[in-house]
């Protein structure tokens, strides 16, 4: 079963604009990770944020985490056509179970 | 190897047949995971190995599914008496393992095996 929901399910913007995706989850977590997937195949790890962190940056990516609201957001600045993909958040629980529980994903389309 | 390798990349089989899906993790990674992804959905956890043992198999849907990792490296996911509902992309991932909250927990995914049961 899915951990939570991602919002929006689909997002279409113009190249150069910023894209924001949100993720909500249900249980306490060890960390939260964001992945990108092209064409329904392998996932590429983007960024990991620990439960005691509130914000993290990596290049054009900015991730926030609010554990009180059980939510996270991924911001991609200055989007490019190559950013077109599905984006998934995934959480790892606190009990040492290292399985990831994924959301349903946001399908991002960048229009040139 | 440089990344997680999964074979075959595509598998077409008939209902009722037996299939094996192989995963070759990143060298040195002690943790290995199997997930299943249906169209339009996020990956769903199946089983997790730490070394040779299955540390968590709570995601296996029923006893037709079984996975092994006999030498702590390559893993095989086995599906008996396949059903049309088993059609999905099966993803394998590996990580350094060892617990904590940071980079050791990053899972690196293979390209997946697309299983089609006719």
The neighbour count for residue B41, using CB atoms within 10 Å, is 15
Exposed e or buried b per residue across B9-30, where buried means at least 16 C-beta atoms within 10 angstroms of its C-beta:
eebebeeeeebebebbbbeebb
Residue A96 has pLDDT above 90, yes or no: no
Answer yes or no: do B42 and A98 touch at CB < 8 A: no
Name the residue facing A92 among B4, B44, B105 (closest C-beta).
B105
What integer pLDDT is reported at residue A4 of this predicted model? Answer: 64
Nearest CB to B101; choose among A51, A102, A105: A51
Look up the domain containing A81 and give its range: 5-88+100-111
3 state SS of A34: strand
Q: Which has the higher per-residue pLDDT, B19 or B100? A: B19
Mean pLDDT for all residues in chain B: 93
Q: How far is A9 from chain B (nearest CA, A)?
A: 10
CA distance to A34, A51, B70, B71, B79, per residue, from A43 (Å): 10, 22, 26, 26, 23
Residue A61: inside a domain: yes
Nearest CA to CA, how far is B26 from chain A (Å)? Answer: 14
Contact: B44, A98; criterion CB under 8 Å: no
Task: Please give the tally of structural domains in chain A.
Answer: 1
CB contacts, 8 Å: B42 with chain A:
2, 88, 90, 102-105
Let me know if residue A94 belongs to a domain.
no
Tell me if A29 is assigned to some domain.
yes
Closest in A35, A97, A104 to B56, CB measured: A97
CATH at A56: 2.60.40.10
Specify if A23 maps to a domain.
yes
- Partner residue opposite A103 with nearest CB, options B37, B42, B109: B42
Interface probe, candidates B25, B101, B108, B111, chain A, greatest A C-beta count within 10 A: B101
For the segment A23-67, what is each residue's pLDDT rounded down to a tens digit? Answer: 999 989 989 999 999 976 789 999 999 999 999 999 999 999 999
Query: What does pLDDT average to over chain A?
Result: 91
- Evaluate if residue A81 carries a pLDDT over 50: yes
Q: pLDDT at position A89, please?
A: 96
Q: Is residue A64 part of a domain?
A: yes
Q: Decide if A95 is inside a domain.
A: no
Mean pLDDT of B43-63: 93
B44 vs A: CB within 8 A: yes
- Please check the confidence at residue B113 and state whether its pLDDT lies above 60: yes
Domains of chain B: 14-98 (2.60.40.10)
Q: Model confidence at A1, in pLDDT bands (50, 70, 90)?
A: very low
- Does residue A93 belong to any structural domain of this protein? no
In a domain, A30, yes or no: yes
Length of chain A (residues): 112
């Amino acid at each position: 079963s899915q951990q939570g929901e991602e919002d929006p399910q689909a997002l279409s913007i113009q190249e150069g604009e910023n894209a924001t995706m949100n993720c909500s989850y249900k249980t306490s977590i060890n960390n939260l990770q964001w992945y990108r997937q092209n064409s329904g195949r392998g996932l590429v790890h983007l960024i990991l944020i620990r439960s005691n962190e509130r914000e993290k940056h990596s290049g054009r990516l900015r991730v926030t985490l609010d554990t009180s609201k059980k939510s996270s957001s991924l911001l991609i600045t200055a989007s490019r056509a190559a950013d077109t993909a599905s984006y998934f958040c995934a959480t790892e629980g606190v009990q040492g179970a290292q399985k990831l529980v994924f959301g349903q994903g946001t399908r991002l389309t960048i229009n040139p | 190897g440089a990344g997680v390798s999964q074979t075959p990349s595509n598998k077409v089989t008939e209902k009722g047949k037996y299939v094996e899906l192989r995963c070759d993790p990143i060298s040195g990674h002690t943790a290995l995971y199997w997930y299943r992804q249906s169209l339009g959905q996020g990956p769903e956890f199946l089983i997790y190995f730490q070394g040779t043992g299955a540390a968590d198999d709570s995601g296996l849907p029923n006893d037709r599914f079984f996975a092994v990792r006999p030498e702590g490296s390559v893993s095989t996911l086995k599906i008996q008496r396949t059903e049309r509902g088993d059609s999905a992309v099966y993803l394998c991932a590996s990580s350094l393992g060892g617990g904590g909250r940071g980079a050791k927990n990053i899972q690196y995914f293979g390209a997946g095996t697309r299983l089609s049961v006719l």
